[in-house]
Structure 1
Amino acid sequence: MPVFKPPQISMIKTKRLLIRPLTGDELKKHIDSPQEFAKCIGLVPSQTLMDKNTQEAILNDLLPNIEDSNKDPLFYTMWIVIEKSERAIVGGICFHGEPDVNGEVEIGYGTDYGYRNKGIMTETIAGLIHWLKTDDKVKVIRAETEADNNSSIRVLEKNNFKIFQRKDDSVILKLKLQ
């Protein structure tokens, strides 16, 4: 089995996790065959992350932007969440583009079913916040989740996000960094 080699781009490390952005080529391989991609980099593949909605978002939103040399690819790719001890892809997180004119960036995320309610995404977002604090362009992190997704709301609140707006079927939470 090949040895996992970190890419030459940013990787966020926490106590239990590595949060690693995928290159454009890796992102393409990941949507073509998540199992083969994971095995190629020496990891246990995710069991649930690559659903139809995720594939469509990657194809329609992330890939067209990650290949644009005028854009920061770290804000247009999927970051895989790797559980260190199991060497398993257990989640994913991404941005919905670069910071806007107000310094606001939106995140979206998911955790494999078998790893939910274990603090994985709370730790992931905490690591991401720590990393984003080093970027002067980012002033606010935003996340929107379903109004009845109490687990997701709790993950954000544990990371000091505050409810900004309630809609009929969703909740927007924000965290000010500066």
Structure 2
Amino acid sequence: MIETERLILKPLHHDQLLKYIKDDHSLEQEFGLLPTKKSISPGLQKALRQSTLPGVFDQDENYCYNTLWVIIAKAENRIVGDISFVGEPDQHGEIEIGYGTYEAFRGRGFMTEAIGRIVNWAKEQPDVQAIFASTTKENIASYAILEKNNFVHIGNVADMLSWKIKLK
């Protein structure tokens, strides 16, 4: 678990991830939080079940790189979004992140703050050299978050923009 002034970022263990996927507010109950309305798309549910859960269950892997991190706003006592790494660092020390803010909490700077903190956490990891992220060209808010955290636009693939920040 890592914190900022307004947020708690908590990586989910296997059983917590199952509760997140069920989306029945049992995860919020476990953490003593108020229920949050979130929409887990069928695609995300499938990815969590097929890719994320096996990595979190494998005790030999660093689950922090393989699980979903929930973002909890302290003042609201609610989960306001989530961040995940797309696996462990590769042979060059590069990792990729994905993130999302729940609709009711957008535009309040939560994700900018969370990305800034997760970048600082990654800097502390000896095997991480750089972080990548991708955004759609239309999602101005998403790439503004990356720009505010010193990510640099490095290219385009179809309708996606690629971003990178070097840490070391």
TM exceeding 0.5:
yes
What's the CA shift for 1:64?
Answer: 1.0
Aligned to 1:161: 151
1:17 matched to 2:25? The reply is: no
1:142 matched to 2:159? The reply is: no
SS at 2:48's partner residue?
helix
Aligned to 2:66: 76
1:170 matched to 2:168? The reply is: no
Q: Where does 1:2-151 land on structure 2 (aligned, <5 Å)?
A: 11-151=1-141
Identity value in percent: 39
Q: Deviations over 1:73-101 (max 9, x none)?
A: 11111100000011100000001000000
Q: Deviations over 1:16-75 (max 9, x none)?
A: 000001111111122123412212321123312422222111101100111112211111
TM-score (norm. length: structure 1): 0.90
CA contact (8 A) 1:93 1:109 kept: yes
In structure 2, the CA distance between the partners of 1:153 and 1:67, relative to structure 1 (3 Å rule), is same
What's the CA shift for 1:135?
Answer: 0.5
TM-score (norm. length: structure 2): 0.96
The number of aligned residues is 168
C-alpha root-mean-square deviation of aligned residues, in Å? 1.1
